[in-house]
Every structure is written in structure tokens, then in C-alpha cells.
Amino acid sequence: MKQYNIEQVESDHGMNFKALHTMIHQVKSWLRTTYSWVSESNIDRYLSEFCYRINRSQSKQNIFNNFVSRMVDADKIYQAKLVCP
């Protein structure tokens, strides 16, 4: 480790890691409320699903705004073009 010149910084009783502790609490709460039994061999799948859900929940506003913006910026399409003759 000396080759990387890493210096240990005190954590102030965990206060420097508040976001990390919050995320760990959310993962544990989600596992406890969603599944009645958690398989150790599938833990990576549970964490992947949690990451997908948290990313999806944080980007919902962006997804809707992008969708509306693309609709407003797009060229008009009339019903005659949508209906096959």
C-alpha cells in the first residue's frame, strides 16, 4: 500500500459514510420486505435488481421530461400517415 501513498482518515464515528450507511439500510430493508428467503448463491441477482430499481426510481423525472421534449420537438404526424390505405 505504500506504493499508492494512501493515508487513513478518521471517519468521525461513521459520519463521513452517511450516504453509504443509508444505502446499506435501504438494501437491507428492501430485501427484508420483498423476499421471505434470500439465497446466498443469488445475492448478486438481488443486488442487480436493487440497483436497477434505485436507478429507475431516481431517473423517472428525467425519462418523462425526455419523452415530452422529444414529442414536442418531433415533426407532426397526421392520422392519414398512420392508417394503412
Q: For 16-60, write each residue's pLDDT tens digit.
A: 788 888 888 999 998 888 888 888 898 899 999 999 888 888 777
Domain carrying residue 74: 42-85
Q: Within 13 Å and on the Cβ side, how many CA atoms surround 69?
A: 6
Whether 19 is covered by a domain: the verdict is: no
The tally of domains found in the chain comes to 1
Whether 14 is covered by a domain: the verdict is: no
Q: Are 17 and 2 in contact (CB under 8 A)?
A: no
Distance separating alpha carbons of residues 25 and 40, to the nearest angstrom = 18
- pLDDT above 60: residue 6: yes
